Amino acid sequence: MSDPARRHSAGPASLARRAPVAAAPPQAAAPAGPDPFEFPPLAERLKALFALRAVARHGSTVRAAEAIHLSQPAVARAVAELERAAQVPLFVRTARGMVPTPAGERVARRADTVFAHLARGAAEAEAAAPDQPPRPVAAERFAAAVTPAALRALVAVAARGSEARAAQALGLSQPAVHGALQALQQALGLRLFYKSAQGTRLTPPGQTLLRRAKLAFAELRAIAGDVAA
């Protein structure tokens, strides 16, 4: 998956400053990758996907609710919300429980991969910080609890190089971005960013987590195609 920050480093303005050269035959434009600030819509529904994944595993909203420590109505609402968004049934309801439809199975598999990336990101970030005080990270718990706002802030500050520019790109206030980044660091107990007069850059643990967050977003983007298949 391409690095969004690299794409933004050389735009039309920088190309315009180069000295003229002999005209070359026109070439087809390279396919554009996803804009780093066009987050997949399902990124806002991580909690609902977590609930759907539990229902697919346990076969009912009651057992899923017990497994992930939510109320049964909350789990049922999450599944219904995803079905409305997908505009297709994701489960067949029976007297004995809930069985995923083919579309539901595909979404559940993608959701497994999304949360696996986030959990591995937490574990790998800890491994990338040998100089920081050890603090056991419950990777699965982090994956279940991390917020869309924190992941958006991580990607944006990596691409823009400062909280202020990230906030501008996201259409948020700088304190909102700062708060999301601080919550992310506190959740992991790791330093994820260096701040200086020049801006903000990621530490090795931050870079590691960023890579996994991008992979998780790629899986979220793929879910729409899975539902339509």
Tell me the whole-structure pTM to 2 decimals: 0.79
25-71 tens-digit pLDDT: 444 444 444 555 568 888 999 999 999 999 999 999 999 999 999 99
Rounded to an integer, what distance in angstroms lies between the CA atom of residue 229 and that of residue 226?
5
Closest CA to 106 of 51, 42, 53: 53
**Mean pLDDT taken over the chain:** 84
Q: Residue 134 has what pLDDT?
A: 55
For the residues 168-178, what does the mean pLDDT come to? 95
Q: Residue 131 has what pLDDT?
A: 73
Counted residue by residue, the chain has a size of 229
* Torsion sign, CA atoms 205, 211, 213, 216: negative
Q: Tokens 């109320």 belong to which residue? A: 71
Q: Residue 204 has what pLDDT?
A: 95
Closest CA to 85 of 34, 47, 39, 48: 48
Rounded to an integer, what distance in angstroms lies between the CA atom of residue 209 and that of residue 62?
33
In the structure encoding, which two tokens stand for residue 218, read together? 């790629």
**All domains of the chain in start order, with CATH:** 41-228 (1.10.10.10)
